[in-house]
Amino acid sequence: MARLAQTPGLTDVQQSILETVREFADKEIIPHAQRLEHADEYPTDILDGMREMGLFGLTIDEEYGGLGESLLTYALVVEQLSRGWMSISGIVNTHFIVAYLISQHGSAEQQARLLPKMATGEVRGAFSMSEPETGSDVSAIKSRAVPEGDTYVLNGQKMWLTNGAYSSVIATLVKTDTGADSVYGNMSTFLLEKEPGFGETAPGLTIPGRIEKMGYKGVETTEMVLDGVTVPDSAILGGADQVGRGFYQMMDGIEVGRVNVAARACGISIRAFELAVAYAQQRKTFGQPLARHQAIAFKLAEMGTKIEAAHALMVNAARLKDAGQRNDVEAGMAKLLASEYCAEVVQEAFRIHGGYGYSKEYEIERLMREAPFLLIGEGTSEIQKTIISRGLLKEYKL
């Protein structure tokens, strides 16, 4: 059989892109990931290489200078980047989501002004929904935008922004009193533009500093404080007439994000398997390689099967979105299975390494700290189960 996580039906262009990215991961990411991760150092050289490859414009239309590729291509690229180092995929993930939101929901002016610079990586995007007292319950956000003539004044505090410092545009969900019956109709998405960096990066907009994390290092995760940030109504995603549409726009982006998290989980799982299967053939106990012991061989079999299942669900969710179909249930299934299986596959690889797996010299130690993030990113497993069950009950309603 072929190696794990192969995808049938890809075009020659897709195959070429993935081959290039895989080679880049092998040569430019994996050899440096351990040092950069342990130092919590921003991977500037790696990102420069990604800019040269055009990866920041992967899904942006060719008319804006991008490659115009599909969500499936994007997901498979993320899978390969995550196989190298998950933090790299995190840097491009929020950028891709913001580019997608602008492409799908932005005004003509927003598209023409922002997408060409996003395609080159000159402008990078960040995505902000969560707040200090709000996790998966988006309806509970407190940050607010109040109209003043043809401007809005934003106040509040946002949390868990990947790319919070290095980004130049942040898609930000806040409350706006539109008079809608539903709380979800009283939310709007603003494209907040700022200078890259920490501190007050635009009038009233402050990025305080990095949040220290167990894993997912190298890429910065930040808070954002909005204190009287004044923007024109044209800063609303899609323009002034899209006020109150923010929640629905963001949920469209989240479906893309959940496919991304599934792809990240597949990438980490693949790398964990590669490390485990290599170690199991090199390390000998009781006179023979670990892989010859049935207990270890069965672990490898289960790990490979889980990777195949997760990859298949991820590919299906991406292809549904590319076909213009709603994929909230399928994206939830992919994210749920891939993240849970990733945690299991990484732990089995850790066990196969024995005591060496606990050493920082071995790559599996890093994966053990990275995998848990995927269980909560873009919605916890419990949230995915809620989405899936609601969708199934609608489909099978008596």
Element of type H or E holding 91: helix 86-105
Copy the structure tokens of residue 277.
Answer: 């299967």
Average per-residue pLDDT in the chain? 95
Q: Quick one: angle between helices 246-282 and 71-84, nearest 10?
A: 40
Q: What is the pLDDT of residues 278-320, one digit of tens each?
A: 999 999 999 999 999 999 999 999 999 999 999 999 999 999 9
CA-based nearest residue to 145, from 181, 175, 186 = 175
Q: Is 378 a catalytic residue?
A: yes
CA-based nearest residue to 259, from 386, 124, 93 = 93
Q: What is the pLDDT of residues 243-253, one digit of tens each?
A: 999 999 999 98
Copy the structure tokens of residue 241.
Answer: 């007439």
Rounded CA-CA distance 83/93 in Å is: 15
Residue 2 pLDDT level (bands cut at 50, 70, 90): confident
Residue 79 · residue 270 · CB < 8 Å = yes
- What is the model's pLDDT at position 1? 64
Residue 178 pLDDT level (bands cut at 50, 70, 90): confident
221 strand-pairing partners? 162
Q: Do β-strands 205-207 and 199-202 pair in parallel, antiparallel, or remain unpaired? A: antiparallel
Q: What is the pLDDT of residues 359-385, one digit of tens each?
A: 999 999 999 999 999 999 888 999 999
Catalytic residue, from 28, 220, 365, 378: name it: 378
Question: How far, in Å, are 183, 280, 287, 292, 349 from residue 297 at the CA level?
Answer: 53, 9, 16, 7, 12
